[in-house]
């Protein structure tokens, strides 16, 4: 792969005249990329830095003095811990349901031919092409029309709704590349359709299911727009941040940002290590075949 | 026989998800449509009177915000495309073995919650915050220069927040590009510029298409950035809808505006898809 795009190879040079412009490249694109990366990380640096600030007044805008106090008193904030617990509960429950529904649809779309497949694709696309605020207020209008009180249940229903399509798209990317012959082979050797699914198909698509679950879990945890219309008075994590920012920006907001970012970093490292491990295995496998 | 049974299995598999989306996505669209033709108050209840004037009246009252949202959406889409294209091009073509690392680095800042990220820009752009405060102390900018509560701040926030939605699909399109096509172009004496415009760019178009949709739709409907970083002069359609539903409790007006927003975006998406010739929207 890496060799394929380094331009004209030395061995080719003798056979024909050198092309008019060999593909050499300057450092400018690399420098540009580094600058954009700095831009992207600037808010993260500010989030981390101001978590260690002892702010003057209610707004944490000017760096006054380094302190660790904000960290030690973090979980004494009752509203913060409650809203965090609520958000984690909602994210877990809505992820489980959305991943189940979405995976079943993804399997149907890639493994079966049935009438209405393309309409189903379109049907799943529309929620993703609808602005979040419209999803939020239309659900609100449903719950108000039905006289259904808003709370944890309505938030979970709302989050399942906007997650399903994302699960389908993510899992479909995995199932559509699958070799159906594997399952046929298993069934030729006497396995029931259910056995061949659990022993062959499911392990193969499991990484896709995990990726989808992670994606919608994060989407749920981070969602403000749909949540705010359907929460009633329930304290949810993004709503707490927003509320806190109305009265001032307390350092707790920065600390929560820092901690969640740290989880992201750990996740990224795990992914990179796993990719490297997988790559190594693949190379070993390829080596044995040759 | 077997074919028939398989088809029944398929319908069985899609049933729970489709039923759920019907109840919590399709039905709400109809209740919202019905609400948009109603009259009344939140306390006294709304009744359906076929009051289509909700549409004309709200459009007349909020046309500025509607046009502003469309304009902001277009600016954000073009800006994120211009900013991210050279970067993902470099990652995909020159990243070598570290491609995945660079891509993760690009995505890492967006692991922080959306609202906290936007608040960080508020901290950066504040009148005496780290950016303007230090520039003013150094005497480099006038004392009364303000960035918060301007359209610059709102656009800056939108561009930052929605950049990954452009960068990722672009990267996917560029990364799967077959490099031997570029070698072929260069062997056939194309200049680098010609190869870029005749090979790379056309093959990147699916990524541009997906990225534009993923950036344009959420930025047109957004109200967080305008709320946290803007002022009354930067109000977007999302802010109006939010206010109608949460403060004024005028559900019919809010529903009419939401419906206009959604239909406008869907029509735009299909025209755009037709213009670019992308058939399968869900990929």
**pLDDT per residue as tens digits for the range B211-255:** 999 999 999 999 999 999 999 899 999 999 999 999 999 999 999
pLDDT score for B277: 63
Residue range A256-266: mean pLDDT, rounded: 92
DSSP state letters, B24-60? IIIHHHHHHHHHTTEEEETTTEEEE---THHHHHHHH
A237: domain CATH number is 1.10.3720.10
Model confidence at A113, pLDDT cuts 50, 70, 90, reads confident
pLDDT score for A248: 75
Based on the domain organization, do B270 and B198 belong to the same domain? no
pLDDT score for B187: 85
Contact yes or no for B269 and A41 at CB 8 A = no
Does residue B81 sit within a domain? yes
Q: Around Cβ A232, how many Cβ atoms within 10 Å?
A: 13
Residue B191 has pLDDT above 90, yes or no: no
pLDDT, chain B, mean: 89
Q: How far is A240 from chain B (nearest CA, A)?
A: 10
Enclosing domain of residue B257: 236-276
Based on the domain organization, do B169 and B246 belong to the same domain? no
Enclosing domain of residue A53: 25-67
Does residue B227 sit within a domain? yes
pLDDT, chain A, mean: 84
Model confidence at B48, pLDDT cuts 50, 70, 90, reads confident
Model confidence at B26, pLDDT cuts 50, 70, 90, reads very high
What CA–CA distance (Å, rounded) separates B58 from B6? 50
Contact yes or no for A245 and B111 at CB 8 A = no
Residue range B192-221: mean pLDDT, rounded: 90
Based on the domain organization, do A58 and A151 belong to the same domain? no
Residue range A206-228: mean pLDDT, rounded: 93
Does residue A257 sit within a domain? no
Model confidence at B41, pLDDT cuts 50, 70, 90, reads confident
DSSP state letters, B123-139? HHHSTTSHHHHHHHHTT
| Least confident piece of the model among A84-93, A155-164, A189-198 | A189-198
Looking at A45, A67, A89, which one is the last position of a domain? A67
Contact yes or no for A102 and B109 at CB 8 A = no
Based on the domain organization, do B250 and B219 belong to the same domain? no
In this prediction the ipTM stands at 0.88
Based on the domain organization, do B127 and B264 belong to the same domain? no
Residue range A69-93: mean pLDDT, rounded: 89
Residue A2 has pLDDT above 50, yes or no: no
Contact yes or no for B113 and A222 at CB 8 A = yes
Based on the domain organization, do A46 and A188 belong to the same domain? no
Residue A268 has pLDDT above 60, yes or no: yes
Does residue A270 sit within a domain? no
Contact yes or no for A267 and B111 at CB 8 A = yes
Does residue A288 sit within a domain? no
Residue range A60-75: mean pLDDT, rounded: 80
| Least confident piece of the model among A5-14, A64-73, B137-146, B164-173 | A5-14
Based on the domain organization, do B124 and B94 belong to the same domain? yes
Interface test with B, best of A46, A94, A131 (most B CBs within 10 A): A131
pTM listed for this prediction: 0.86
A236 neighbors A155 (Cβ within 8 angstroms) = yes
What CA–CA distance (Å, rounded) separates B145 from B128? 10
Residue B76 has pLDDT above 90, yes or no: yes
| Least confident piece of the model among A11-20, A72-81, A239-248 | A11-20
pLDDT score for B78: 97
Does residue A289 sit within a domain? no
pLDDT score for A282: 52
Question: Half-sphere exposure (CA, 13 Å, Cβ side) for B2?
Answer: 1
pLDDT score for B195: 86
pLDDT score for A289: 45
A44 neighbors A268 (Cβ within 8 angstroms) = no
pLDDT score for A286: 54
Interface test with A, best of B4, B5, B6, B10 (most A CBs within 10 A): B10
Based on the domain organization, do A59 and A112 belong to the same domain? no
What CA–CA distance (Å, rounded) separates B134 from B39? 54
% of chain A beyond a pLDDT of 90: 45
Residue B57 has pLDDT above 50, yes or no: yes
Based on the domain organization, do B244 and B208 belong to the same domain? no
Contacts of A288 (CB under 8 A, 6+ apart): none
Based on the domain organization, do A54 and A127 belong to the same domain? no
pLDDT tens across A114-143, in order? 888 889 998 998 998 899 999 999 999 999
% of chain B beyond a pLDDT of 70: 97
Based on the domain organization, do A47 and A172 belong to the same domain? no
Nearest to B220 among A131, A145, A261 (CB): A131
Q: Which of residues 193-212 of A touch B (CB under 8 A)?
A: none
Model confidence at A8, pLDDT cuts 50, 70, 90, reads very low
Based on the domain organization, do A236 and A96 belong to the same domain? yes
Contact yes or no for B160 and A249 at CB 8 A = no
Based on the domain organization, do A136 and A234 belong to the same domain? yes
What CA–CA distance (Å, rounded) separates A102 from A37? 34
Q: Locate B76 and state its tokens.
A: 């954000």
Contacts of A147 (CB under 8 A, 6+ apart): none
Based on the domain organization, do A226 and A86 belong to the same domain? yes
Based on the domain organization, do B91 and B200 belong to the same domain? yes
pLDDT score for A179: 77
Based on the domain organization, do A224 and A140 belong to the same domain? yes
Q: Locate A57 and state its tokens.
A: 């007044």
Residue A3 has pLDDT above 70, yes or no: no
Residue of B nearest to A238 (CA): B115
Model confidence at B283, pLDDT cuts 50, 70, 90, reads very low
Based on the domain organization, do A95 and A46 belong to the same domain? no
pLDDT score for B193: 86
Nearest CA among A134, A150, A163 for reference residue B255: A134
B165: domain CATH number is 1.10.3720.10
Model confidence at A284, pLDDT cuts 50, 70, 90, reads low
A138 neighbors A229 (Cβ within 8 angstroms) = no
% of chain A beyond a pLDDT of 70: 87
Q: How many domains does chain B have?
A: 2
Nearest to A33 among B90, B120, B186 (CB): B90
Residue B14 has pLDDT above 80, yes or no: yes
| Residues of B in Cβ contact (< 8 Å) with A19 | 186-187, 189
Q: How many domains does chain A have?
A: 2
Residue range B124-134: mean pLDDT, rounded: 84
Contacts of A18 (CB under 8 A, 6+ apart): A8
pLDDT score for A22: 43
pLDDT score for A231: 93
What CA–CA distance (Å, rounded) separates B179 from B200? 9
**Of A257 and A178, more confident:** A257
Contact yes or no for B223 and A133 at CB 8 A = yes
């Amino acid at each position: 792969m890496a060799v394929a795009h380094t331009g004209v190879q030395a061995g080719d040079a003798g056979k024909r005249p050198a092309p008019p412009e060999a593909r050499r490249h300057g450092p400018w694109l690399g420098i540009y990329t580094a600058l954009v990366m700095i831009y992207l990380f600037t808010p993260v640096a500010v989030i981390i830095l101001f978590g260690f600030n002892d702010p003057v007044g209610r707004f944490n805008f000017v760096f006054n003095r380094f302190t660790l106090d904000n960290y030690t008193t973090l979980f004494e904030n009752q509203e913060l811990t409650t809203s965090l617990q609520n958000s984690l509960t909602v994210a877990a429950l809505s992820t489980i349901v959305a991943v189940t529904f979405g995976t079943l649809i993804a399997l149907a779309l890639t493994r079966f031919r049935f009438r209405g497949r393309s309409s189903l694709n379109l049907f799943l696309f529309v929620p993703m092409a609808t602005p979040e605020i419209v999803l939020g207020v239309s659900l609100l209008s449903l719950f108000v029309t039905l006289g259904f009180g808003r709370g944890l249940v309505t938030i979970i229903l709302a989050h399942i709704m906007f997650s399903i399509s994302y699960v389908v798209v993510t899992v479909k990317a995995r199932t559509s590349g699958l070799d159906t012959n594997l399952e046929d082979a298993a069934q030729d050797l006497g396995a029931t359709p259910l056995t061949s699914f659990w022993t062959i198909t499911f392990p193969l698509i499991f990484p896709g299911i995990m990726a989808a679950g992670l994606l919608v879990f994060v989407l749920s945890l981070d969602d403000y727009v749909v949540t705010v219309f359907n929460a009633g008075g329930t304290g949810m994590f993004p709503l707490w941040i927003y509320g806190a920012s109305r009265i001032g920006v307390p350092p707790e907001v920065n600390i929560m940002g820092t901690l969640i970012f740290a989880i992201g970093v750990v996740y990224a490292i795990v992914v990179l290590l796993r990719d490297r491990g997988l790559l190594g295995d693949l190379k070993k496998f390829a080596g044995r075949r040759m | 026989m077997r074919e028939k049974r398989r088809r029944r299995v398929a319908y069985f598999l899609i049933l729970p998800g489709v039923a759920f989306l019907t109840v919590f996505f399709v039905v709400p669209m109809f209740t919202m449509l019905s609400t948009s033709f109603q009259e009344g108050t939140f306390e006294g209840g709304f009744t359906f009177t076929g009051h289509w004037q909700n549409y004309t009246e709200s459009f007349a009252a909020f046309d500025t915000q509607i046009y502003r949202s469309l304009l902001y959406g277009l600016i954000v889409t073009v800006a994120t495309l211009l900013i991210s294209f050279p970067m993902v091009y470099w990652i995909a073509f020159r990243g070598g073995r570290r491609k995945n690392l660079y891509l993760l680095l690009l995505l890492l800042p967006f692991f922080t919650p959306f609202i906290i990220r936007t608040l960080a820009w508020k901290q950066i752009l504040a009148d005496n915050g780290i950016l303007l405060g230090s520039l003013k102390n150094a005497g480099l900018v006038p004392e009364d220069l303000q960035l918060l509560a301007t359209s610059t701040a709102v656009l800056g926030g939108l561009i930052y927040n929605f950049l990954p939605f452009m960068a990722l699909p672009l990267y996917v399109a560029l990364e799967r590009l077959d490099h031997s096509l570029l070698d072929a172009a260069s062997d056939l004496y194309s200049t680098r510029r010609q190869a870029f415009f005749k090979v790379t760019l056309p093959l990147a178009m699916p990524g541009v298409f997906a990225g534009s949709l993923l950036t344009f739709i959420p930025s047109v409907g957004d109200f967080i950035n305008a709320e946290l970083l803007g002022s009354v002069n930067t109000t977007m359609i999302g802010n109006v809808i939010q206010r109608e539903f949460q403060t004024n409790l005028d559900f019919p007006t809010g529903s009419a505006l939401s419906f206009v927003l959604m239909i406008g975006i869907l029509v735009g998406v299909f025209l755009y898809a037709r213009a670019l010739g992308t058939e399968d929207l869900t990929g």
